Structures are given as C-alpha cells and as structure tokens.
Amino acid sequence: MTGRDLRALFDPASVAVVGASDDESKYGNWIGAQALRMAPERPVYLVNRRAATVLGRAAYPSLAGAPGPAELVVIAVPAAGFEAAVDEALDAGARAIVGISAGFAELGPEGRALQDRVAKRVRAAGAVLLGPNCLGVADSTTGLTLASNPLPAGPVSLLSQSGNMALELSRFLAGRGLGFARFASLGNQADLGAADLIRACTTHHGTEIVAVYCEDFGDGRAFVTAAAEATSAGKPVLLLTVGASAASVRGARSHTGSMTTDGAVIDAACRAGGVYRVASPRELADLASALRGCAGPVRRVGVIADGGGHGAVASDLAEAAGLAVPEFSPALVAGLRAELPPSANVTNPVDLAGAGERDISSFGRVLAAALADEEVDGVLVTGYFGGYREYGPALAAAEVAEAHTLAGHVRAHGKPVAVHTMHPDSPAARVLAEHGVPVFAAVEDALRTLALLGTGGTVRPAATPTAAAPPVTGDGYAEARALLAAGGVRYPPASVVHTEEQAVDAAERIGYPVVLKALGPVHKSDLGGVALGLRCADELRAAFRDIYKLSGYSVEAMADTAGGVELIAGVHTDPRFGPVAMVGLGGVFTEVLRDVAFALAPVTAETAHGLLTGLRGAALLRGARGRRPVDLDAAARAVAAITQVAAAHPEIAELEVNPLLVTPNGAVGLDARIALA
C-alpha cells in the first residue's frame, strides 16, 4: 500500500492560522479559537494583516513575521487573496495547507481554473492541500484541533465533504459512546482526495472505522482501491453519499462543484471495495456501533421478545429489511422449551411470555442457546429489557447483572446481536452499549443495522483487464459485431449486403432460415427494421422490399431460440469509476423490466455468474414451469468477454449486446452496439 505523507496534516510540529479574526461571524475566528486549544503543546501563530492581537493573543502581519516556521498553515481569507496566501505559506516552508476559503470550482470554470492552478503549485512544492472550501482538520490522537467546532474523541475517522454533516454525525456518534480519531473536511478535493485520506487512516493506529461522506469521488477507481486496502486491513469503510434524486445532484453541484455518480454505479463500486453504504448519518452511527462489536453478515436472524406483539412486528420488519426469520431447528426448540414456561413461543420469534419478570436470567439462557445454533447468524432482542428496574430494586440489580451476562454471551459467540428496548437510557441498556452491544430505541433501526452488516466487508475487485487494443474507429453494427466476436462472443454467421440480390446470395451461403436487419437504428424492431424466420428466397425478397429503408443490411442465420432467455449485457463508461458492466433480462422489454445488475468492469466469469443469479428473474434462467435450465456458465463467459472488450478500448463509451440469447445449449449474441466517446 502506497500513499502520500500526511504527517504534517495530522501531526504538525507547528501551526499557523492565516486570516485569524476577532469577528465571531468568521471562520478565521472559529478556527483560531480551536487552534489555541493546542497551545502550549505545539506553537500556534495567528496571522492578521491589520490587527496586533487576535483572540487575546499576539498576531503577526505575515507568516514571515511569525516567531517560527509553521509546518501546517490554515488559510481562512477571501478567495481573492487565497492564491497569494498559499504562495506565502509555501515560501515559508509549509508542508501542509488547509484551505477554508470558498469561491473556487463550486462557482464555475473560472473558479476551477484558479483552484487547479493553486493545487498544481502545492504539489510542485512537495506539500499537500486539504480543500479548499472545507471546514478544517482534527486528530484526537495527536491533539490537533483545527476544525471549526469541538469534536468528541473516539475510534472513527471521518472524511466528509460537508462540514454540517460532520457536526450532525458527531452528535449521533457521541450518543453511542463514540467519537472521532480523525476528521478531515474534504471540501473541493483540489489536491488531496478521499482515496489519499482513506490510505492515511488505514495506517493510523487510532482509527478502527473509516467513515466517508462524499459527493464527488474524483478518481473513483482510486477510491475503490483505497477502500479495499482499508477493508483488507480490518478497518471497515462506511459511505454516505448522494445522487439518488435529481434534487441531491443539483445540491451537490452547487455545494462543492461536484459531479455526482449514479447510485447503481456507486453500489457496484462499494461491492468492489467491500464498502458499507448507508443512507443517513444516524444509520452510519448505528452501523459503526455495531461493527465495533461482533461484525459479520446476517441473513437468518433469531428474534427474542418479551411480548408477542414485539416479536411479530420485529419479524415483519426483519423480512422487509431483507432478513429471514426461519423456524428454529428441532434441537433448539427443544432446548428453549426446557428453559421457558409452557405458554412461551419458542419457534422464532421467541416470546418469553412473562419469564422476564419471574426470572430475568431467562434472557441470557435463551440468547446463549440461539447464538450457539449454527442456523442462526445473528439475534435481535426486542421489547422491555431495561425497564424491569421499575418493578423494584431487587429486579433492577438483577437486570443490570443480566446485561453483563448478555454481553458475555455476545462476546463468547462472536455473532452480531442488536438490542431494541423501549428503555434505551436505562442502566442495563448502558451496560450493553458499554460492552459493544448496540442498543436501539426503534426496532426498525436495529434490524436495518443487522441487515447492513451483510452488505460490506468483503472485497470483490474488478478483473484484471487485458492489454489495450488498437483503437476502434467505426461505430456501426458490423464493426461492433466483429469486435465482440473477436473478443470471444459467439454470433450466428452473417453478411452485410446493400442490394436484394446480394441478400439472396448471402442467404444461400448461410442457409435458411435467416434474419434480415436494417443497419443503423438502435431500436430496429420498433422501426420495422427486422424480419425474422425467412425460410426461402421469396420471403427474403418480400422482406427486403418492405423493411425499413437504409443503405445497409445484415443477413444472418436464424438462431434456435427454443427454451432460450434473452439477456442484455454491456458496459458504459462512468466519468468517475470508468467502465461499468451491466447485465439483466433483455430483448425489446429491457427498459420495461429494468431487472439489471452492475459491477465494475471488467468482470470475471465467476462475478458475471453471480450477477445473473442475483437478478429478480433468475428463476427463468434456472428453469421455470417445466423449462430446461439455460447454460449459465456460457452466459457468464459471454458477459465476461464483453466487459474485457470494453476495458481494452477506452475510446468506447458504451458497448452493448441486446439480446444475448442464452439457451440450454449455450449463449449467442443477436445484436451489437458501440458508442464512441
């Protein structure tokens, strides 16, 4: 793993704040006040060109006038003076610069040009720039306090493109007993990007979890690689991003000049890097809390409730979240039956049926039995636990002791457990949280967190692309077909023709029945540009005269479609993440069905197989209602070949085969399309 040296950013020997101010409405005031919290551990120099004192401390008119050099310089001046301030910092020997100032790429081309010019200068000097248009940096392990607001210390390193998002997340984390090891406000990422900072956190001893709020991924493949490195090093990466709605895209572009990326592409990138994608700051904090305990994917969940209503509602919500609540094994049912009163339900969900009041230790015995079962991946405890203290001091003390017992079982079995209680602030609930067992006030949050545990943590990198090939210059159907065939996709015999006689001659060589296609339009069938199953010269001549008129045609052998399923497979180039593979149910109803899956390209045949079997309509491929299963291995090889062709040709913006016909006997392409960048 390689990366840039960011020691001067997170552990500088000395700091200067350029633009420090007594005006409490300015960032220079907020940052300056936070910077002074570090004195006297490290020298802090306040720079203000017009004031002799700022915040009750001596101020200097320039960095050159300060008593010593500043290894890290924070610049909080108007955009018009930013470039000059950067030059002054570099001349004074700064190794890291934090640009608080706004007014750059987020304002348009002129601002972007200024931003790029400054970043180039910083890199040429061997320094690093965080921002501009950011909210600062902090590191609780080194005592660095250069963010606009105080932040709680803890094991989570946050890299955020939004300052306010960081402040909200800090509240959620603090409520779960967590805080920040590091905080870096990404801003416009003119120099340092999310990938650089993820790498720095991966090697940071104080970071256990890396959280990212990002609107623009910059080099998306670098982000994925850095996230994969962190995941492999045992430091989960959690991502909160935008792009699911038109409004969020508009907001991101006006906010940081970002170019947001389609949500399906981001999901594919997260799978490749082992990243957990969350939908809100609260969800991020919940998942971070769960990952600090017993992490691991959960598919089959055991539900333990001290009331039938809680168990039933939790079961419905679990399945809505994508979790299964299967009936317990006979052995587990028998074991639970021995521990609980006859009125208890023990099949899953478990209803303790009043056992909690009579014997609070029943919680621990039931939890231990459920966790020991190999058919249970994780457990939800839901209901009243934490509230039994209201029945008297003896039960209150026993409940706290049982919380310690529950935490011990979780630790011993190493499976995820979430506790939902209507008393989340009770002493027993606090014991659970202190021992790493996540506690939730809402059962839907608990179940969503358990479901999220299975969405990340495993790196699935894209395949290694083949060597680059000579550039493609033509974007016609015949060129696309020939390119794909050369790359390993099987096509029926075909011939391009321009006249009726040429069509008949070609059909005689190929053998009837044949297909006649008009070359050119994407949706040929919609325009009357395809004639199928032509069995003789007379039918071919009639079709030639009636078909959609264009300058060129393709005569092709008619594929045997018996027992076949039409797929769509292709690659499009995302401006941030590069080539992205797409596969789904295809043919003329592709846009209607919208049953598609994505992965970063190129993909292996194994990955393609997984994409195909994960489709909603995968039952059609396995054989449904008496149909024979299709050759999934052949389909996967064809999809992999398509993605390799696209990856070898960066000049291709889109490459598509629709339909890719898959039958019990193999896979064959029936169309092809190229769009050049």
Which pLDDT belongs to residue 215?
A: 86
Exposure on the CB side of residue 226, measured as CA atoms within 13 A: 26
Instruction: Judge contact between 351 and 344, C-beta under 8 A.
Output: yes
The helix/strand/coil state of 440 is: strand
Domain regions of the chain by residue span: 1-150, 293-452, 493-557, 565-676
The predicted pLDDT at position 164 comes to 84
The pair of structure tokens assigned to 315 is: 């079961």
For residue 626, what pLDDT is reported?
78
Q: Say if CB 446 and CB 382 are below 8 A apart.
A: yes
Contact 288, 473 (CB under 8 A): no
Residue 429 confidence (pLDDT): 96
Name which of 165, 205, 162 is nearest 182 in CA terms: 205
- pLDDT value at position 257? 42
**Rg of the chain over CA atoms, in angstroms?**
31
Give pLDDT < 50 ranges for the chain.
1, 245, 247-260
CA-to-CA distance for 434 and 429, rounded, in angstroms? Answer: 9
Distance (Å, whole) CA 656 – CA 673:
5
Pick the CATH number of 493-557 from 3.90.550.10, 3.50.50.60, 3.40.50.720, 3.30.1490.20: 3.30.1490.20
Measured CA to CA, the distance from residue 51 to residue 68 in angstroms comes to 19
Strands 565-574 and 578-585, bridge-based pairing: antiparallel
Return the pLDDT at 521.
56
- The fold adopted by the segment(s) 1-150 is Rossmann fold (3.40.50)
Domains 293-452 and 565-676 fall in the same CATH topology: no
Please determine, looking at this structure, whether the domain spanning 565-676 carries the CATH number 2.60.120.1310.
no
Dihedral (Cα; 76, 95, 142, 53), 10-degree rounding: -40
Amino acid letter, residue 318: A
Q: Terminal CA-to-CA distance of the chain, rounded, Å?
A: 32
Tokens 């997260």 found at: 270
Cα–Cα dist 301/447, whole Å: 9
The Cα–Cα gap between 673 and 484 comes to 10
* β-pair partners for 420: 382, 440
Whole-structure pTM value: 0.91
Q: Which residue has the tokens 């700022």?
A: 54
- The architecture that CATH gives domain 293-452 is 3-Layer(aba) Sandwich (3.40)
pLDDT tens track for 64-103: 999 999 999 999 999 999 999 999 999 999 999 999 999 9
Count Cβ atoms below 10 Å from residue 606 Cβ, excluding itself: 11
Phi, psi dihedral angles at 140 (to 5 degrees): -70, -20
User: Which residue has tokens 């101020």?
Assistant: 59
